[in-house]
Amino acid sequence: MHKITWIGAFLLINNMVIAQEGKEVPQKVDRPKVENRVRRSVNVEPLSPKKLWELGRVTAEGLSKDGSQLIYGVSNYQF
C-alpha cells in the first residue's frame, strides 16, 4: 500500500510539472479589459435552474495524437 501511495504522488507531481512546461504566466492584468467585463456582467440576469437544464453538458473525451485539438462531447437533457 505504501508503494502505491508513492507511485500516485510521483504521477501527480509529474503531471503538474508537465502541465506547466512552456506556458507563460502573464505578470500583469489588463485592468480596463477586466473592468469592462465586470460592468457588462452586472446587467446580466442570473441563471435559473430551468436555464441551467437547457444548457449542454460538455465533457472532455480526449486529445488528438499531437495534442493540438481537443475531442469533446455535449450532452443535452429533455424532460
> For the segment 10-65, what is each residue's pLDDT rounded down to a tens digit?
777 777 777 666 666 566 777 788 777 777 766 777 788 888 888 889 998 898 88
pTM of the model: 0.37
Cell numbers placing 78: 429533455
Integer Cα distance of 39 and 33 in angstroms: 10
